[in-house]
Each structure stands twice: as structure tokens, then as C-alpha cells.
Amino acid sequence: MEYKGLSSEEIKKRQLQYGKNALPEEKSMPAVKIFFLQFANPLVYILLVAGLVSFFLGKYFDIALIFSVVLINALMGFFQENKTQNTLAALKKLVKPRAKVLRGGEKHEIDASELVPGDIAYLGMGDRVPADGKVLESVSLLVNEAVLTGESDAVRKQEDDEVFMGTIVVSGRAVIRIEKIGSQAKIGGIAQTLKETEQPETTLQVRLKKMTKTLIYISVFLAALVFLFGLFTGRNVLEMAEFSAILLVAIIPESLLIVITLVLVLAMRDSLKKKALIRKILAVETLGSVTTICADKTGTLTEGIMKITKTELADPESSNLAMCLCNDMNDTVEAALWDYLKGVKNFDQQKIFDKHKRISEIPFGSEHKFMAAANVLPKETGMLFLSVKGAPEAVLKMCALESEKKEEIIRTVDEWANRGLKVLAVASKKIPDLGERKIKEEELSNLEWGGIVGLWDPPRKKVKGALAAALDGGLKLKVITGDYRLTAERIMKYLGLRVKPQEVLEGIELDRMDDEELKKRVGKILLFARVTPHQKLRVVSALQDNGEIVAMTGDGVNDAPALKKSNIGIVVGDASEVAKETADLILLDNNFKTIVSAIEGGRLVFENIKKIILFILSNSFAEVVAIMGALILGWPLPLTVVQILWLHLLCDGPEDFILGFEPKEDEAMSDGPKRMDEPILDKLGLFLIITVSMISGIISLTFFWYFGIHLGNIALGQTMAFMSLAFNSITYIFSCRTLRKPFWRYKNFWSNKWLFVVVGCSLFLATIITYFPPTQKLLNLVPLHLFQWSLLMGEAILLVTIVEIAKAVLKLKKKSLGRKTSDAKHELAPLASGE
């Protein structure tokens, strides 16, 4: 049937009348609510308790300052969360559903939101139905309506049946007329009543909550201990209340959660620049824990651009007609066949395709591995041309050939496959035209063998280097393909992967295994060939049962179950809508290198969060050591509430943020994946926190004793104690930038330029506040002399030197222990020059 579609004038009228084809979106959280939620934080509650204690002690300025800090952090959190919300919304807009339509007699691909009632739309396998409509034409159309009915079985649709927005085309194709759009569609009414499902907490959130609880328990315990200790030693109740309040303020890292949110958002934005669109923020942290990549060969390891380089056709005329008519131009293989036909003399494939109307078809399926089409023969009334294309072994079964001839063809197929070619077979015959009907099973026999074509899909440039980086980084690779074993092995050889016979498993063998046997063998397999989507799901499940964190690539509707089952589902940019919706990561350049880059980004996030927490807690507990030391020794307070808040807000605060911009270290990948249950702070981190806080706290306390107690100048003693902690914080950040080597040997030393700006400003501010009368009064400071500044610089350098020595000792110890290797380590051949 001929269709013209709507004219541009009619489209404009209907767009004004019906609006956008979009369901009502969940309203974003109001700004006011985001702001007030910043106060719903246990760490803030502790600070407010300290503020109340200050209030009862008559320290009105202290309470004003505490509340000011809480408010400033709330504002910072509000702006950061609001920015995060906007960033996620912007990323979401990058993945818009598309629809194929006929308008003004021409086919177009448009945003599904632009559809109007009356539009003629085309559906194919893997498409999500863009709006409610009536089927005008259909070929073997099966639609999954689980989103509406909850039933998982696909429903067959024929002419005049209705299809509904949001349902999925499992197989076949159709032409439909759009009837209802947006909230008028059947799913629109359901969407109005649905509430947004609450997102489960991520591993990082759980870890941070656990750490926050631990900090709260520690702060409450120490505050109570200090208070009781003071009472038992005969000190004044009010004095001990002040000690406890200051201790609470010292422990609490006010900006921690804000900084971590910043790091996650930065990672998402950075990945997008590198052509990896992360759809879910939780995927950022999971990427850092990936241990195994299950990569589809076509499109990620190879260019995904097929070209016919070899043919062996028994009957070129009928074979060319079969390649033309049994073709929907839906994938790179069919596009390659179409391009090949352009070079055939006196063969206008578009005219021939239009002239031979298709009556029926059997869509390609991964289970039967062929496509069949029955087309009208204009010059032969009452006859149809039945053409079949697909895997040689599937097509050969349908052909009437002697066994010797079949064996000869199989040898040729194997020879071509061994050269890395994807081999496709065609066959055909004439059948009676009985009107509108399905192709009968018995008609798929005694076909005339047409021949084979060899398609070359070249390996991607720079993939070899990315594979080397992945394997060096402790990642295990599993190549999963529907292609011949020999074809896949040849491509992998081009990429430098040595595949041993025992490292290959074909789909037919996989089917004979039960889940327990597969679980035992899956770790030692590198190549899975001739596998179906269901078998992909079994492979992913077996790997996960062995404790692997799996990243899986796919592109079709049949890949959706395996993508959903994997820890990180990865799809290429031109994947089906269903595959995209189950994915965590979309490759905008379809490149394996981008996957490795995204995993590096995930590891970088974990590394930077660890550095930030290490930096913050080291500084906080240094203050705790100084305060508790003074209490035990019976001295006055070495620090005031105002001084501690100044340290947290203006010395530590900007540097916390700037650590989130640290680039990846070369050794980050070689350290291997991060376990999902790995604590944020490892033994090195805990050791450094204890070491730094003890040394920094004791140095600060020593200055307080000498200048405040020994010389009898408490204001000078507090100034030196305060400035000591400030200088330690400012210089210690350089040691936090890398935990693997001395900071002066850090390759990226000059890369984070903002860090030097922040450090410079912090040093200038730390110096000037001792001479500026308003800050002298605010912070209870006195001017310092050159000798005292020299002492401060000397002790800051001493602290960093001790930290660097500790890092070196622990690194040597870690090296001597070695690392466990994976159960399936694969080697790469030497890299070719230029790769």
C-alpha cells in the first residue's frame, strides 16, 4: 500500500492542537526542599549540639559562627546538588527516543516527542513503540506488552490491531498510523498514577553512611570522655562543657558529602567528554570495581563497518536478486550487501527492490540464524521469489546439494573465516503465489544454492593499546560473538591476543554444560563463539557467581537480559532503544578504548575520594589530639571554636574541593579493580591518618606549651598552635595527591593548576590574618616574628618528610607481599608500531 504521510502544514497544525508526544515528567525537587534537606545530616546535628552548648555557656559569638558555618555548608551543598540535578537532566536529554516516519512522501528519523496523530511510523525489531497506533501493515510482528499487562509472553499483532506506547517490538516489522500521543496514550493514564521508585543506596553511600556513623560515635564518645575526665580531675563543669563542644566541632568534617558529590559529577562530565555517557550516577563507582569485560567483537573491537571483499557465487543473477530482496538495510551486514550491489552492472537495486513487492518474510533470529523473504515476480504471474540469507551452516541445510559439495563449501567457509572474514550464504527458489500468506516451513527446503560472500570488518585502531592497558590493569577479557570461531580468533590475533584452544568455547558446547560446569570453566575461557543472547546471559551469571564484577556490551533487544544482569551494561550509540534503556553506559564512539577509559575514570573517583577523606580526617584528628592533650596535661584550651571553624572552612575547605580535580595516576590501572566491599580507607590510609594527626597534634601542642605555658603568653601560644595546624594542612595536601610515590616525583605535579592557586591564597591568608586587626580580634591572634614563621615552615616540612618516609616504607612492604593474579591471565603479542 502506498502512503504519503502528513504535509508540513498539517504537522504544524496538529503539533499546536495536540502538543508534544511526551508523558508528564516527574517534577524535579523544588529548590527550597533541596536547601532544607542540607540540614538533614547527622554531622550537622552534632555541630548544632555544639552550638547549643556554646549558647548555654554564654558564648554567643561562637554559636553565631557555628550556625554561620552550617548555613554556608548548606548553601554550598544546595548549589552543588542543584547543579548535579541539572547535570543529570542534561545527560538524560542526550538519549532521546527516535522514531522513523513518513512525511510528505519521504522517510525521516525524528525525535519521538515530535510525533502527532496521523503520522505514518515504521517499527522494527528492538524498537519501543513511540505512541499508540493502529497497524496498517505487519510482517511477523510480535510485541511485548509487559509494561502494560505484566505478561512476559509476546503478543502477535496483525493489520488493524492496536499497538501501545512503551511496548517493545520483539520481532518482525510494521507500518502503523499514530492515533494517540503523550498522556492520551494508554500508558499515559498509568504514568499519571505512578510514583517514582526510590533509588537503592549505592555501595559508596552505604560506606559513607557507615563512616559517618563511626565519626558520630567517636565524637560523642570522646566528648563524653573529656567531660567526665575533667569532672573527675576536679575541673569546672562549664569549662569541661566548652572542651567537649570544641572537640565536637573539631571532629566533624562539615564539607565531606558535598565534596564527594562534586567528585561523582565531575567524573560523569569527564566521561562524556571522552565519548562515554554514564546514565546513572551509581555506575560511576561501580565502574571502578569492574573485574571482567564481556566485549562483543563487532563494533567495539572492530570498526563495525562491513565491506564485501570476497565472493563465490554459483548463480550471480539469482544471488544478487536474493541479496537485494532479502534485505531491510537494518544493520552493517545488510548495508554492505547493498553497497556491493551498487557495483554490479545493469543492476539498479533500489528500482528492483521497489518493483518486487514483499509478500511475507521470516525475520533474522539468533536462534535460527537466517532471514527469508518472499517477493512478487512481476514477469512471472502466480510465482514468488523466495530468498534466504544467513549463516552458511543454516542455509546449507535448506539446499539440495550433494554431501561432497557441502563439504567443499564448508572448507571454503572455514578458510575464509580463518582470514578473519564474516561469511554469509544466500539461496533461493520460486514458489507459488497464493496471495497474502506466511512462508511455510516445508518451502524452506530444496533451495538453489546461491553462494557465499566474505565480509571484512577491520579491527579498530588503538584498540590493541587499550587491551594492553586493560589487561595490565587487572581486568579480565571475555570476547563474546555470534561469529565463527575462526573469524573471531583471526580478529583477536590482529589485536595481539593469543588464544589457546582450551580458551575457546562455542555455543553448541555451552548448551551441553549445566550451570555448575560452566561456572567452573568460565574463568579460563577467553573467546565465546557462535553464542546466542540467552547464552550470553548464562556467561554473565556464571562470572558473577564466581565473584566477578561484570561489564557487558550489547546492542540488540535480545541482549537486554544480559545487559540488565551485568553490573555495568554497556551499549553502542546506535543500539536499540530497549538496549539503551537497560544500559548504565552508552558508548558514543562505539570504541573499546572508551570502555577502558570509563573504568579508569571509576577508579579515579575511588582514588580521589580516598585522598579527600584522608586529608580531611588527618586534619580533624590533629585538632582532637591537641585539645585532648591539653586536657590531660591540665592546660587551657589551645584552640578556640572560631579558630577550628576557620581551619575547616578556609584552610581545609578549598583544598578538599581541589583534590577532586586530581587527574588519574599512571599506576591507578595497574593497582587492579577496587573490590565492592573494599573499605574507603585501607591500612595505608588509616596509618597515615593516625601518623599525621598524632605528629601534627603533638607539634601544635608543643608550640602551645612553649609559647603559651612556658613563656606565659597564652594568646601567642594559641596563635602558634593554630598557625601550626594551618601550615600543616596547607603543605600536607601535596602528600595526599599521590599515595604511591614521593610527591615531587608525581608525574602530574603541575597538572592541577588550581591547587597551586588555592595553596598560594591559603598561605597568603594565613600570614595576613595575624597582622589584620579585625581577624586578630576574631581569631584571638597576635603578630608573629620571622623566627616564629621559620619554626612554622620548618615543622610543616618536617611533617611532610615523615609522611613521605612512611609512604615509602609501606610501599616497599606492599611490594614484598606481591599481588594475587587472576585465574585467566591473557597475553598480548607485541604492539605494532603506531598503535
Nearest to 694 by CA among 802, 797, 794, 609: 802
Nearest to 174 by CA among 123, 128, 127: 123
Distance CA 592, CA 579 (A): 18
- CA atoms lying within 13 Å on the CB side of residue 626: 35
Number of other residues whose CB lies within 10 A of the CB of residue 527 = 24
Which whole-number Å values give the CA distances from 553 to 297, 531, 564, in the listed order?
A: 9, 14, 11
Edge-first strand order for the sheet with 307-313 is: 307-313, 448-456, 422-432, 383-390, 370-376, 358-362
Pairing of strands 106-111, 98-103: antiparallel
- CA atoms lying within 13 Å on the CB side of residue 732: 31
Contact 586, 611 (CB under 8 A): no
C-alpha cell at 88: 543529570
Distance CA 743, CA 523 (A): 38
C-alpha cell at 606: 575511588
Contact 297, 683 (CB under 8 A): no
Three-class secondary structure assignment of 163-196? ECCCCEEEEEEEEEEEEECHHHCHHHHHHHHCCC
Pairing of strands 422-432, 358-362: unpaired
- CA atoms lying within 13 Å on the CB side of residue 639: 33
Q: Is 457 a catalytic residue?
A: no
C-alpha cell at 725: 595546624
Of the candidates 62, 119, 132, 296, the residue annotated as catalytic is 296
Radius of gyration of the chain (CA): 34
The DSSP H or E segment spanning 134 is strand 132-144
How long is the chain?
835
Main-chain dihedrals φ then ψ at residue 90, nearest 5 degrees = -65, -40
Contact 754, 658 (CB under 8 A): yes
Pairing of strands 307-313, 568-572: unpaired
| First-to-final CA distance of the chain | 52
Distance CA 167, CA 700 (A): 67
Number of other residues whose CB lies within 10 A of the CB of residue 634 = 11
Is the torsion defined by CA of 39, 41, 47, 50 positive or negative? positive
Which whole-number Å values give the CA distances from 663 to 11, 252, 362, in the listed order?
A: 50, 27, 52
- CA atoms lying within 13 Å on the CB side of residue 45: 11
**Residues carrying an active site annotation:** 296
